[in-house]
Amino acid sequence: ATAVQLRFDAANASGLSERVRMRALKLAGQRATKDGVIVIEAGRFRTQEQNRTDARARLTALIAKAAEPPPPPRKKTKPSKGAVERRLKSKAGRSTVKKLRGRVENE
């Protein structure tokens, strides 16, 4: 009897930019309806007022996460020339060790 359902119509929210609106619906996942309404259910606490506060805080956190700027694009890197040479040298060393593990021939 103390559980709370908070409904936020993200699809028609005028205070949100289009990017934030779409990202909020994506982050909401199963909590978003087909009509673009985000439903947050809160029932952690024993009083209805605490559950209302909890639901509002969770909605605020969701919108804040949606409003974060996208991460900068990843810069492609390649190993240095010395690192490539060291890697190939160690591979050649392992190869010779494994070749020496074969049968010993008597002369």
Report whether CATH 3.30.160.20 matches the domain 4-67. Answer: yes
CA–CA dist 51, 57 (Å, integer): 10
Q: Work out the pLDDT band at 14, boundaries 50, 70, 90.
A: confident
Q: What's the one-letter identity of residue 40? A: I
pLDDT value at 86 more than 90: yes
pTM: 0.65
